[in-house]
Amino acid sequence: MGKKRLSIAIPASIISDTPHLREKTSKIGLIGRAAAIFRVEQIIIYADVVKLEQRQDLALIALILNYLETPQYLRKALFKIEPDLQYAGILPPLRSPHHPTSGKTKHLKVGEYREALILSETKEGLLVDIGVQQPAFLRQKQFSVGDRLTTQIVNLDKKVEVQAVDREEVPLYWGYRVCVEKQPFGKIIKNSGYDLKIATARIGDNFTDVSKALGAKWAGAQNILVAFGAPARGLHEIVEDEGLMLKDVVDFTVNTVPRQGTATVRAEEALIASLAILNIYFNY
């Protein structure tokens, strides 16, 4: 069995209780940081209010999450200067393996992986930016200038030479992908290929009461989804808009913060609490 792939689903309304762009940026940064800490491979952002146009919120969340996931040395080339990124400076550093802290060529090692951007084409191959003082050389010419790709360093003798690799082959956590879904939550889940679907909700089973059954299902699953509701409405209410019941859509509905001492648990707080518990219990 291959490695487990963990995805999370968050609603566009996750930023509805934060009116200012600065606070929205901060909240989205916390979500991205939590996803990286617990090795989430995909963040699905879904439209959760059927009668409301949420395109702007979907786009904002995706933009900031993608910006945060991109290594610092590639951001200037891959993102335009735009108003929605004016508070990007307050985002926390991701510090995941694909965000190297050294930008010096002398610190590179053969076999090391680096995210790269195609800069230009030569007769022999391509020049790529891997975040060090000079461009690296890539012999594979099937890519275009401006493409981002994952590379591995293969030679450091006379020049830095890399080869393109599938990011799925990287034996380290290599960041998350962002997927924007305009379909409602129920349809996303029904059409998905997830082996295990977990909803988090205040009106749900205490995690410890279902941990054994959940663990048995977790052991045989490869593609796992953990879904979260919105600040004003939980997943029960969200799927009711589609004429569905949550228990018919997911495998487990769990409360990961039982006996909470506050009137509400914010989405980013629920995200950290839930992923931390799953990480400890199932050692994924």
The verdict on 248 and 157 lying in the same domain is no
Domain that holds residue 136: 105-165
Q: What is the pLDDT of residue 195?
A: 93
The verdict on 184 and 119 lying in the same domain is no
Domain limit, last residue, from 117, 143, 165: 165
Phi then psi for residue 27, to 5 deg, are -65, -45
Residue 261 to residue 265: CA distance in whole angstroms: 9
Q: Where are the alpha helices (DSSP H) in the chain?
A: 21-37, 55-69, 72-78, 185-190, 207-220, 235-240, 246-249, 267-282
Q: How confident is the model at residue 150 (pLDDT cuts 50, 70, 90)?
A: very high
Rounded to an integer, the average pLDDT of 164-179 is 96
Domain limit, last residue, from 165, 186, 203: 165
pLDDT tens, 26-46? 999 999 999 999 999 999 999
Asked whether residue 215 is domain-assigned, the answer is: yes
Asked whether residue 171 is domain-assigned, the answer is: no
Q: Is pLDDT of 259 > 90?
A: no
Whether 279 and 40 have beta carbons less than 8 Å apart is answered as no
**3 compared with 154, residue with greater pLDDT:** 154
**Average pLDDT of the chain?**
93
The verdict on 143 and 254 lying in the same domain is no
Asked whether residue 170 is domain-assigned, the answer is: no
The verdict on 81 and 122 lying in the same domain is no
Rounded to an integer, the average pLDDT of 186-197 is 89
The verdict on 111 and 25 lying in the same domain is no
Asked whether residue 159 is domain-assigned, the answer is: yes
The verdict on 49 and 116 lying in the same domain is no
Asked whether residue 100 is domain-assigned, the answer is: no
CATH number of residue 146's parent domain: 2.40.50.140
Residue 208 to residue 52: CA distance in whole angstroms: 37
Question: What is the number of other CB atoms lying within 10 angstroms of the CB of residue 215?
Answer: 12
Q: How confident is the model at residue 184 (pLDDT cuts 50, 70, 90)?
A: confident
Cα–Cα distances in angstroms (integers) from residue 225 to residues 42, 83, 98, 210, 220, in the given order: 9, 32, 23, 17, 14
CA 134, 138, 139, 141 torsion-angle sign: negative
Rounded to an integer, the average pLDDT of 152-175 is 95
The domain tally of the chain equals 2
The verdict on 257 and 138 lying in the same domain is no
The verdict on 61 and 121 lying in the same domain is no
Rounded to an integer, the average pLDDT of 110-129 is 96
Cα–Cα distances in angstroms (integers) from residue 147 to residues 15, 74, 225, in the given order: 31, 11, 29
Helix (H, G, I), strand (E, B) or coil at 97: coil
Cα–Cα distances in angstroms (integers) from residue 132 to residues 50, 105, 108, 193, in the given order: 47, 5, 9, 39
Residue matched to tokens 């045989």? 220
pLDDT tens, 238-256? 999 999 999 999 999 999 9
Of 117, 100, 253, the residue nearest 185 (C-alpha): 253
pLDDT tens, 36-77? 999 999 999 999 987 777 889 999 999 999 999 999 999 999
CATH number of residue 201's parent domain: 3.40.1280.10
Percent of the chain with pLDDT over 70: 99
Helix (H, G, I), strand (E, B) or coil at 43: strand
Asked whether residue 172 is domain-assigned, the answer is: no
Q: Is pLDDT of 139 > 80?
A: yes
Asked whether residue 121 is domain-assigned, the answer is: yes
The verdict on 181 and 160 lying in the same domain is no
**78 compared with 50, residue with greater pLDDT:** 78
Residue matched to tokens 């009116």? 19
Q: What is the pLDDT of residue 2?
A: 61
Asked whether residue 60 is domain-assigned, the answer is: yes
Q: Strands 5-11 and 223-227, how do they pair?
A: parallel
The verdict on 161 and 220 lying in the same domain is no
The verdict on 181 and 66 lying in the same domain is yes
The verdict on 268 and 223 lying in the same domain is yes
Q: Is pLDDT of 192 > 90?
A: no
